[in-house]
A and B are shown apart, each in its own frame.
Chain A
């Protein structure tokens, strides 16, 4: 079911963005623990990337409304979504290459002469290289996502939009 964001036509674009962005950020980060704990959960990582893209585009629109701190948050989101894109590309390429490798091996089995066989080494090297790069990128992604939580990225984002979080204590009639 497609997500419907709490848009209010009576408010300005800026006010709507202030309402929507924290919700979009939560939609992205809800997948974080699964992504971080399961390195090969390709589908979840893909879903996280899909959640990150509209957040990035919404922030691009919001750039006109807010200052330098907001732009810095946008850069962080942009870089991280792009990193997820690179990991996704590797996740698409590795199975394709493995499948091609199997086909070449089948071909080689049927060819009687050694000189007619197709060497698979370059293909294997590429697959291993991609696997290694994917691992590095995944580790970098995990570090960034954990850093966001540790450095309270959501609060930084809200602050950059001129918002302050209302604590439970305050809403419960505290000071």
Chain B
């Protein structure tokens, strides 16, 4: 799992609101930094990193939920959740395919067609899910999810 980036100038003795702004800004930027690579799709690690970072954003929102105004929280949380779900579906395929390919490499049999067929099917399914994921990310960008989130951090806390 991608290691969490150090949060600059975080002083835990400071009031919660100030700290949450710094934490959420760092985690959110961490997440969006992998967006381009995720959409391009050449390296599955971008998607993995983006998913882990988005999970960290979600966790902060969930844990400190009581610190945010209800309505604003709901809107932002829904967008993050939508993103996480679409990333998660593709990531599940990546994990499955990766594990199967490793098991295939370790297989001693001469006829591995049964394994190959499964890997091919999963890759086809993954590609279809990836298209949906890219569409979701593009749609969220059209709605200005990054700008909305930054506004949420500065005004809601």
What residues of chain A have their CB less than 8 Å away from a CB belonging to chain B?
A: 2-14, 16-17, 20, 24, 53-54, 57-58, 60-62, 64-65, 82, 89, 92-93, 96-97, 100-101, 104, 118-123, 125-126, 129
* Chain A residues within 8 Å of B99, by CB: 89, 93
Total residue contacts A-B, CB cutoff 8 A: 113
B interface SS class:
helix
A interface SS class:
helix
Task: Return 27 A-B CB contacts under 8 Å, by A number.
Answer: A3-B62, A4-B66, A5-B63, A5-B64, A7-B63, A11-B15, A11-B16, A12-B16, A13-B14, A13-B19, A14-B13, A20-B63, A57-B63, A58-B63, A60-B4, A61-B60, A65-B13, A89-B99, A92-B96, A100-B117, A104-B114, A118-B111, A119-B114, A120-B114, A122-B109, A122-B114, A126-B115
Residue among A2, A24, A57, A125 with the highest chain B CB neighbour number at 10 A: A57
The 5 closest A-B pairs by CB, nearest first: A65-B12, A13-B19, A57-B59, A14-B12, A7-B66
Residues B92 and A92 in contact, CB atoms below 8 Å apart: yes
Residues B109 and A125 in contact, CB atoms below 8 Å apart: yes
Interface size on B, residues (CB 8 A): 39
Given contacts A53-B59, A89-B95, contact A4 B65 (CB under 8 A): yes
* Chain A residues within 8 Å of B103, by CB: 126, 129
Residues B64 and A7 in contact, CB atoms below 8 Å apart: yes
Residues B111 and A9 in contact, CB atoms below 8 Å apart: no
What residues of chain B have their CB less than 8 Å away from a CB belonging to chain A?
A: 1, 4, 7, 10, 12-17, 19-20, 23, 55-56, 59-60, 62-67, 92, 95-96, 99-100, 103, 107-109, 111-115, 117-118
